[in-house]
Homo-oligomer: A and B are copies of this chain.
Amino acid sequence: MLKVHEGADIATLMNELGARARAAARPLAVATTERKNAALLAMADALEANTPDILEANARDMEAGRAAGLSTALLDRLMLDEKRVAAMAAGIREIARLEDPVGQVIAAWERPNGLFIERVRTPLGVVGVIYESRPNVTADAGALCLKAGNAVILRGGSDSAHSSAAIHACLVEGLVKAGLPEDAIQRVPVTDRAAVGELLKGLDGNLDVIVPRGGRSLVERVQKEARVPVFSHLEGICHLYIDKSARLDMAVSLTVNAKMRRTGICGAAETLLVDRAAADTHLVPVLDALAAAGCEIRGDEGVRVRFPSARPATEEDWRTEYLDAIISVKLVDGVGEAIEHIETWSSHHTEAIVAEDASAVERFFNEIDSAILLHNASTQFADGGEFGMGAEIGIATGKMHARGPVGVEQLTSFKYRVRGTGQVRP
């Protein structure tokens, strides 16, 4: 691995990666679906064939990680075994099966003067992905960007450098086998942090969008400093609202799933809002079930009167993404106050309502401006795979271009094709 520590050299290196990505993006944009899929399948084969090398590289990362005192959670994310490598290969094969978004006609109409106008999907260009030490992101992000006809520059965490390099070599092998430019998927070959700064500056106009995958501090830095568009979410302060019209059994099962299925993902519920009119019927059974599942309850006054073991919730709780087995609970005056609370405190990621009253559901769906709104379903469905997109490179909470799960379709732009028969403009 190349190690460069002088700022100017890093800038030169990174801008060169950008120029090479831009050059690769042109043939990639016109590559056939067959060729892209052939590359993806060859990548999956290469991952399986090179499993021993990948595991050996991963063992070096794990050893260094243990020596550096990485937490158990981080070491688990970093760790690869045969099953995980096979899962990466399977994921890439699934991306090969997805419909190719490039060239899809998304709208078409004819003008009175006979001009026929089509809006057609095109690749975005060059995508930069910055992620922490999860080696599988190398495979997922590389494959997704390729399917959408984009060149990609991958900048993984330094802790997973050897693993990522071994995986990246398999991706390049697939590209070469299919006759696609190997610069279509590049990996930043240095661990220097200045490389991230160069990506954020946009590589001299050769980077079209950045996707940060990682913890809050990484995403915050990218959102603050990036001079190019960013697809990201800072946090997922997701709400579940139980209306007085909710079926009790559904309120219980959805709350427990939304909070406890996995507490560390961005679609996990962090705040439970309960209709005051259901306080005497729904509140205690729901909180009993949460507590039985091992969840800590933090409630407002009305909650604590009815559920005395709850700790008091403060304003700080309404703005906190616990990512843990903790939930804040508040009584609200119907769907109106639920909407007010959510619009005030939400991170605009995902919110759910449990209700049988259709008018409450419509208000919830119309008046809340979050990427994903669910009715009678768990917030944990906030996921590209669950949406049927096959795979996602992340979830975005911004309102520009991509919102919600970012899959192959969201990694495209469009252009207009206009067909005439000699029309001049009067």
Contacts and interface: CB of A to CB of B under 8 A. Distances in A.
Interface of A: 26, 29-30, 103, 109, 111, 115, 117, 122, 124-125, 208-209, 229, 247, 249-250, 253-254, 256-257, 261, 343, 365-367, 369-378, 380-381, 386-388, 399-401, 403-404, 413-425
A203 to B, nearest CB: 15
Chain B CB within 10 A, most for which of A111, A257, A403, A415: A415
Contact of A400 (B365, B381, B401, B424): B401
B425 A378 contact: yes
A209 B400 contact: yes
A110 to B, nearest CB: 9
Contacts of A388: 109, 111, 117
B413 A378 contact: no
A388 to B, nearest CB: 6
B209 A415 contact: no
B424 A261 contact: yes
Nearest to A425: B380
B26 A418 contact: no
Contacts of A422: 247, 249-250, 253-254, 376-377
Contact of A416 (B30, B376, B404, B418): B404
Main secondary structure of the interface of A (DSSP, over half): mixed
Contact of A399 (B30, B208, B256, B369): B208
Given A386-B425, A403-B415, 15 more contacts: A26-B367, A26-B369, A208-B400, A261-B424, A369-B415, A370-B415, A373-B415, A374-B420, A375-B417, A375-B418, A376-B422, A376-B423, A377-B423, A381-B418, A400-B401
B111 A378 contact: no
16 contacts: A26-B367, A115-B377, A122-B399, A208-B399, A253-B422, A369-B415, A371-B416, A372-B415, A372-B418, A373-B415, A374-B418, A376-B419, A377-B418, A380-B424, A399-B413, A400-B413
Contacts of A421: 376-377
Contacts of A208: 399-400
A298 B268 CA distance: 64
Nearest to A380: B425
Contacts of A387: 111, 117, 416
